[in-house]
Amino acid sequence: MKEAKLTLDINEKPPVLKWIILALQHVFAMFGATILVPILVNAAAGTTVLTIPVALVTSGIGTLLYILCTKGKSPVYLGSSFAFITPLAVGAVKAGVGGAMTGMMLVGIIYMIVAAIIAICGKDWIHKLLPPIVIGPMIMIIGLSLASSAVSQIGISAGTEVIDYKGVIVALFTFLVTAVTMLKAKGFLKIIPFLVGMASGYVLSVILGLVDFTPVLEAAFFSIPDFVLPFISYTPTLGAALTIAPIAIVTIAEHIGDHSALSTIIGKDLIKEPGLNRTLLGDGLATFVAGLLGGPANTTYGENTAVVGMTKIASVWVIGLAAIFAILLGFLGKFTALVSTIPNAVLGGVSLLLYGFIAVNGLKVLIENRVDFGKSRNVIIASSMLVLGLGGAAIGIGTVTVSGMSLAAVIGVILNLLLPKDDEEVTEEKVENKKEEKEEAKAEVVVENNKKGKNKNKTKNAKNNTEVVRVEKVEEKPNDNLVVLNHPLVEHKLSILRDKKTGTKEFRELVGEIGMFLCYEAMNDAELEEVEIETPIQKIDAKRLNEDKYAFLPILRAGTGMLDGLIKVIPNAKIGHIGMYRNEETLQPVRYFFKVPNGIENREVLVLDPMLATGGSGCDAIAQLKEEGVTNIKFLCLIAAPEGVEKMQKEHPDVKIYCAALDEKLNEKGYIVPGLGDAGDRIFGTK
Ligand code: PRP
Ligand code: URA
């Protein structure tokens, strides 16, 4: 994972004053969402299910528990989860506040069970169950489903009959101040954009007469939050709990997504260290305790990722102090009353920026994990999840109703398990079997030919006692005319390329990329011409390549796959084509096309073909070029077999071979071992 440049690293403790201010900024940055969840749940349920003071206290306690469980190695602030708004409201209507709280505790227990299984069996199964194609759309749904709440806070939802222009002005002002602070502020102000934005929006609201201070005047300085406790406030029941429980799929997915996104931002893989089992345990314990005290369920917070991403402050010290402030603030009656006077428009201005980040994080999960939307299965999974998750779907099974996000999560998991993993892979596998059958038949033909004396190199296959073609392995000796790229990056790319699970798109890209590396090496002796240029500072004599002097000649078809990489680095080279295929029976090259640029004889020619197997195709292509008078030729391939190298060096000792790997041998069917299979078919997805 790429190291990230952080202003404050995970274990860095800032000086006291800065620490306090940063912690306040963190806790306030979370405010928009933390206090909004109780407000929205109550509005949806039509009764008081949650309160702001309890939400603050449970988010603080939850964060401290999380820090404890993760041994202070993960910079995450836990806050009220938006994923629970609808389930909590529905649960409370069905089974009262107690039923909703029991549901949340059950979700916490599910987290802890999953964490325990991961600790014992590892996390591979969870990745299979919740791969990026399920997690990405899930996080997008959570973010996008909040979009309308930000818009309604601003007061410009479609259908709003009387627009409160003062509110809209405040929201826009808050948004602009936050955005400008992010973009332009210097030093410390740059890392507290949300605090600056909210404070500015609040001041403007006071000036415009949008704030009513009566609740603050009436509130006590200190007050105990209204905790809702099991067996005291209610008797736990399982009915509504089962309706809420499926949401665990969503929030576990969100948890993994947030941690993956945060890992990228801070340059440390949190899924490995402290480990998914510990982060899930912390999150689960926090959610359980929230249910126990009557607060909203906790989540690892997309907003936290956004704030850490923007401020580059990943200090657990800052987050821990923010948690303590949240707990204390929950007991400050005057303060919570003051918070309740923050106009919706101010929250809307900040949310406009924050909620988008959640959805964008979902997109990032898809992009960073290279989810290929060229594959129909991915399109089907994401499409159905997005529509069900955002379209307000709900399915009742007995007393349990699965709706919205839960339904999208369940469907995403099921589709991912049921749909064929990879169309191409399945086809490849089938074709591989067919090919083997076909080639066994072909081997028999070769045996026949051998028997008739048509092939000189023959040997016995001890295993099945049939005669097969085998080309003698050449001795491995230092060779000036053979350059094997020896570089960790090339080795890395080759390992993906060789993998039979690698799909067409990635395979094609890798062939181009390795082609580029080969070109880089082959141009090592290139002659440069002197030119005079002027830098912004002064004139200098510089050196340039005369790109026009070069010609690239891919051998059709597979050679064209390498072309992309080469023309990226020498875009003005001329391009020709040599059409040739290898007869499957005799392994001899068959010519079918030849078109080269004018004046080819005066150019330096790079012949491209990913595979140098028996060497038949490469040698014949070069022979044709020599017939045209070309004298300056290099041969570039991804994988060479010793047999092909030997043939090339015998027939064209003047041609230098550049390859990314020199493999072990050819098999009885003329394929390179271990090789990568049929290059042409894998590049073009023809089998
Ligand atoms: C492959 C490969 C080379 C040739 C190498 O092409 O791209 O051109 O085999 O084998 P050789 O050195 O033993 O001749 P193929 O004949 O399969 O044609 P394709 O590129 O169209 O698939
Ligand atoms: N051609 C290929 O595409 N692959 C081999 O292994 C040999 C020849």
604 DSSP β-pair partners: 550
pLDDT of residue 32: 64
pLDDT category at 469 given cuts 50, 70, 90 is very low
Token output for 426:
């399945």
State how far the Cα of 426 lies from the Cα of 504, in Å rounded to an integer.
12
DSSP for residue 661: E
pLDDT at 670 over 90: yes
Q: Render 399-462 in DSSP notation, one character per residue.
A: TEEEEHHHHHHHHHHHHHHHS-S-HHHHHHHHHHHHHHHHHHHHHHHHHHHHHTT--S-EEEET
Q: Is the CB of 412 under 6 A from ligand 2?
A: no
Model pLDDT, residue 583:
86
Q: What is the DSSP track for 362-400?
A: HHHHHHHTT--TTSHHHHHHHHHHHHHHHTT-EEEETTE
Q: Taking 60 as the threshold, does the pLDDT of residue 207 lie above it?
A: yes
| Confidence category of residue 389, pLDDT binned at 50, 70, 90 | confident
8 A C-beta contact, residue 130 and residue 257: no
In this prediction, residue 196 has a pLDDT band, given cuts at 50, 70 and 90, of confident
Q: How far apart are CA 563 and CA 519, in angstroms?
A: 10
498 flagged as catalytic: no
Other CB atoms within 10 Å distance of the CB of residue 508: 17
The reported pLDDT for the residue numbered 448 is 38
Of 124-138, 229-243, 272-286, 463-477, highest mean pLDDT: 272-286
Residue identified by tokens 């602009």 is 176
Domains of the chain with CATH codes:
16-418 (no CATH), 455-684 (3.40.50.2020)
Could you tell me the pLDDT band of residue 138, with boundaries at 50, 70 and 90? confident
pLDDT band per the 50, 70, 90 thresholds, residue 303: low
Q: List pLDDT tens digits, range 555-582.
A: 999 999 999 999 999 999 999 999 999 8
Q: Which residue has the higher pLDDT, 681 or 351?
A: 681
Q: Name the least confident of 87-91, 202-206, 337-341, 667-671.
A: 87-91
Mean pLDDT value of segment 338-357: 83
Q: Is the pTM of this model over 0.75?
A: no
- More confident position, 3 or 79: 79
| Length of the chain (residues) | 687
Amino acid letter at 83?
Answer: A
- pLDDT surpassing 50 at residue 182: yes
Q: Which two tokens stand for residue 302?
A: 């997309």
User: Tokens in use for 514?
Assistant: 């390795």
Instruction: Tell me the best of 439, 582, 619, 671 to mutate to test the pocket of ligand 1, counting ligand atoms within 8 Å of each CB and taking the most.
Output: 582
Q: Closest-lying ligand to the alpha carbon of 622?
A: 1
What is the number of the ligand closest to the CA of 676? 2
Supply φ then ψ for residue 267, to 5 degrees: 70, 25
Asked if 675 and 639 count as a contact pair (C-beta separation under 8 A), the reply is yes
What is the pLDDT, as a whole number, of residue 425? 42
Q: Measuring from each residue's beta carbon to the nearest atom of ligand 1, which residues come in under 6 Å?
A: 555, 557-558, 581-582, 587, 589, 609-618, 644, 670, 678-680
Residue tagged active-site, from 237, 341, 427, 586: 586
pLDDT at 2: 56
Does ligand 2 come within 6 angstroms of the Cβ of 678?
A: yes
Q: Give φ, ψ of 529 to 5 degrees.
A: -110, 145
Tokens of 419: 């749909």
pLDDT in tens, 474-518: 333 446 789 999 899 999 999 999 999 999 999 999 999 999 999
Lowest mean pLDDT segment, chosen from 29-38, 52-61, 255-264, 407-416: 29-38
Catalytic residue among 174, 336, 678, 682: 678
Residue 288 contacts residue 66 (beta carbons within 8 Å): no
Return mean pLDDT, the chain: 85
Question: How far is ligand 2, taken at its centre, from the CA of residue 645, in Å?
Answer: 14
Query: Among 151-165, 255-269, 423-437, 441-455, which is the least confidently predicted range?
Result: 441-455
Nearest by Cα to 357 from 298, 300, 302, 301: 302
Q: Give the integer Cα–Cα distance in Å for 449 and 588.
A: 14
Task: For residues 214-220, give the mean pLDDT.
Answer: 94
Cα 438 to middle of ligand 1, angstroms:
17
Predicted confidence band of residue 148 (pLDDT cuts 50, 70, 90): confident
Measured CA to CA, the distance from residue 268 to residue 343 in angstroms comes to 38
For 624, the token pair is 């044709």
- List pLDDT tens digits, range 40-76: 788 777 788 999 999 999 999 999 999 999 999 999 9
Q: Is 423 a catalytic residue?
A: no
Active-site residue, selected from the candidate residues 377, 470, 508, 582: 582
Angle of CA points 333, 339, 342, to nearest 5°: 150
Residue 440 clears pLDDT 60, i.e. is over it: no
With CA atoms as reference, report the closest residue to 569 among 605, 515, 530. 515
Substitution candidate for ligand 1 out of 611, 612, 668 with most atoms within 8 A of CB: 611
Report the C-alpha gap between 519 and 503 in whole angstroms.
Answer: 24
User: Higher confidence at residue 369 or residue 171?
Assistant: 171
H or E stretch including 188? helix 187-190
Assess whether 678 carries a catalytic annotation: yes
What are residue 534's DSSP bridge partners? 539
**HSE-up of residue 64 (Cα within 13 Å, Cβ side):** 14
List the one residue out of 550, 572, 546, 545 whose CA is nearest residue 636. Answer: 550
Q: In angstroms, how far is the first alpha carbon of the chain from the final one? A: 35
Mutational test site, ligand 1, from 470, 577, 581, max ligand atoms within 8 Å of CB: 581
On the question of pLDDT at 403 being above 60, the answer is yes
Residue nearest to atom 18 of ligand 1 (CA): 581
Q: Is the CB of 616 under 6 A from ligand 2?
A: no
Residue 235 annotated among the catalytic residues of the structure: no
- Ligand 2 contacts CB of residue 659 (under 6 A): no
CB atoms within 10 A of CB 491: 12
Give the CB-side neighbour count of residue 323, counting CA atoms within 13 A: 25
Measured between alpha carbons, how far is residue 181 from residues 153, 184, 186, 190, 243 in Å? Answer: 22, 5, 8, 6, 43
The fraction of the chain above a pLDDT of 90, given in percent, is: 53
Q: Quick check: 295 and 316 in contact, CB under 8 A?
A: no
Taking CA atoms only, the protein residue closest to ligand 2 atom 2 is: 678
Nearest CA to ligand 2 atom 7: 671
Structure tokens at 111: 């987290």
Which ligand is the nearest neighbour of the Cα of 684?
1
